[in-house]
């Protein structure tokens, strides 16, 4: 069965710092990959997604992620974070294994200091 | 366009009781997913319904069950509530098929006392 690992459970950065959140998945076949964000008091919303094509995908609010198939990774990046990026970030994978359920990682809490 | 709606927003039950949570998907979406979000555990997959059928369930005991109605809305039932069932229960909907994304509701906060 597929699984998703997010290495950083809690990250604290200052504004304007660069961000990289790690995500690895375990499944050898075709996958769709997602990053979702949950701002305080709000529902989960999609940041970006990878289905196929260019492995470098751009999402909303200046976020991007790179799919590296050989490393089973889909790390999230942002060159310069803002205080408003304070949120919890979830990586998710949908493996084409016949059951099509979306599996989430445990999440990373990002706290940006003003 | 209305998003995924869940009711109630908050639910307080005592141990041993039953809880019923409801979800209305985005219009046109036939797939509904249920997740449990407990502190520090991320989103744990509970159930997936599509076209009225249960397609998959996560590693939860049978007292977690649900159904999907002809209008694609869904209900999650939790029987014999335990204190550890206290969590945020999220519903998501999507179009059927491979290259689709899930849209989430605000969740139902279930507290078992």
The predicted-structure confidence for A46-77, as pLDDT tens digits, reads as follows 999 999 999 999 999 999 999 999 999 999 99
Helix H or strand E segment including B48: strand B42-50
- A105 pLDDT band, cuts 50/70/90, is very high
Interface contact flag, A102 B55, Cβ < 8 Å: no
CA distance A58 to A76: 10
Q: Are B22 and B11 in contact, with CB atoms under 8 Å apart?
A: no
Interface contact flag, A107 B43, Cβ < 8 Å: yes
Q: Which pLDDT does position A89 carry in this prediction? A: 97
Instruction: Report which of residues B108 and A27 the model is more confident about.
Output: B108
Q: Which of B101, B105, B107, B109 to mutate to test the interface with A (most CBs of A within 10 A)?
A: B101
Partner-chain residue, chosen from B42, B45, B101, that has the shortest CB–CB distance to A46: B101
Percent of chain B with pLDDT strictly greater than 70: 99
Residue A86, strand partner residues: none
- State the smallest CA–CA distance between residue A113 and chain B in angstroms: 22
Is residue A3 predicted with pLDDT exceeding 90?
no
Q: What is the pLDDT of chain A when averaged over all its residues?
A: 92
Partner-chain residue, chosen from B35, B98, B103, that has the shortest CB–CB distance to A100: B98
Q: Which pLDDT does position B99 carry in this prediction? A: 78
- A30 pLDDT band, cuts 50/70/90, is confident
Q: Cα torsion for A15, A66, B100, B78, to the nearest 10°?
A: -60
Interface contact flag, B55 A100, Cβ < 8 Å: yes
- State the smallest CA–CA distance between residue A18 and chain B in angstroms: 24
Is residue A2 predicted with pLDDT exceeding 70?
yes
CA distance B33 to B35: 7
Is residue A41 predicted with pLDDT exceeding 90?
no
- Under-70 pLDDT residues of chain B: 1
Phi, psi of A71, rounded to the nearest 5 degrees = -105, 0
């Amino acid at each position: 069965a597929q699984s998703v690992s997010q290495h950083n459970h809690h990250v604290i950065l200052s504004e304007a710092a660069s961000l990289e959140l790690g995500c690895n998945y375990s499944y050898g076949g075709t996958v769709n990959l997602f990053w979702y964000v949950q701002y305080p008091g709000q529902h989960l919303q999609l940041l970006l997604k990878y289905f196929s094509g260019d492995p470098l995908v751009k999402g909303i609010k200046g976020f991007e992620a790179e799919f590296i198939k050989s490393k089973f990774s889909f790390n999230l990046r942002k060159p310069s974070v803002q205080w408003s990026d304070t949120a919890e970030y979830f990586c998710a994978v949908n493996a084409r294994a016949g059951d099509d359920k979306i599996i989430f990682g445990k999440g990373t809490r990002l706290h940006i200091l003003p | 366009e209305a998003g995924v709606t869940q009711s109630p927003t908050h639910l307080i039950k005592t141990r041993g009781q039953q809880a019923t949570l409801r979800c209305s998907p985005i219009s046109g979406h036939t797939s509904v997913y249920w997740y449990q979000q407990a502190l520090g555990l991320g989103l744990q997959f509970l159930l997936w319904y599509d076209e009225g059928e249960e397609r998959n369930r996560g590693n939860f005991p049978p007292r977690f069950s649900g159904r999907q109605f002809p209008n694609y809305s869904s209900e999650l039932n939790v029987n014999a509530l335990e204190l550890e069932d206290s969590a945020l229960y999220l519903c998501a909907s999507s179009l059927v098929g491979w290259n689709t994304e899930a849209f989430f509701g605000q969740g139902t906060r279930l507290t078992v006392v």
